[in-house]
């Protein structure tokens, strides 16, 4: 019995690590694309690099959560998602408040987005494991 519990815990931990790695990759990819777009626009218009909001770089992580959301059914997934969004965004905003004001919005926004998706990931993984009903279809 202890071996089954240990293997279940290890599998759950592996799923969380996989989710965190996936959203990290999405945020890095989104931020890199955003930096390239910003670079193209400042080349054409002659602005200053990094003045675009880095929060947009976290948007591709929504695709990872979309797939996770579809795997479960019931009202609990909606409650977990809404609470996760509120707490994740709160953590992301709090993280940006404590960053130096001299850093460009691209960097601070990307960091805030990363904190938000990490917070959402941990909350989603923990709460959906306790309250979620995985689809068997």
Secondary structure of 79-95 as H, E, C letters: HHHHHHHHHHHHHHHHH
Please give the residue range of the domain that contains residue 48.
2-134
Q: Which band of pLDDT confidence, cut at 50, 70 and 90, is reported for residue 5?
A: low
- List pLDDT tens digits, range 15-44: 889 989 999 999 999 999 999 999 999 988
The dihedral through the CA atoms of 120, 109, 67, 81 has a sign that is positive
What's the structural domain count of the chain? 1
pLDDT tens, position by position, 91-133: 999 999 999 999 999 999 999 999 999 999 999 988 888 887 7
Confidence tier at 85 by pLDDT (50, 70, 90): very high
Residue scoring higher pLDDT (134 or 54): 54
Cα 19 to chain centroid distance, Å, stands at 9
């Amino acid at each position: 019995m202890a071996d089954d519990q240990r293997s279940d815990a290890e599998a759950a931990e592996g799923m969380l690590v996989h989710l965190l790695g996936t959203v990290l990759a999405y945020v890095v990819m989104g931020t890199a694309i955003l930096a390239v777009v910003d670079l193209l626009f400042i080349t054409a218009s002659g602005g200053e690099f990094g003045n675009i909001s880095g929060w947009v770089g976290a948007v591709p992580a929504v695709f990872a959560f979309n797939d996770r959301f579809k795997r479960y059914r019931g009202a609990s997934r909606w409650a977990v998602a809404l609470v996760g969004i509120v707490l994740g965004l709160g953590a992301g905003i709090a993280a940006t408040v404590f960053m130096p004001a001299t850093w460009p919005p691209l960097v601070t926004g990307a960091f805030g987005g990363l904190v938000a998706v990490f917070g959402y990931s941990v909350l989603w993984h923990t709460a959906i494991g306790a309250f979620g009903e995985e689809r068997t279809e």
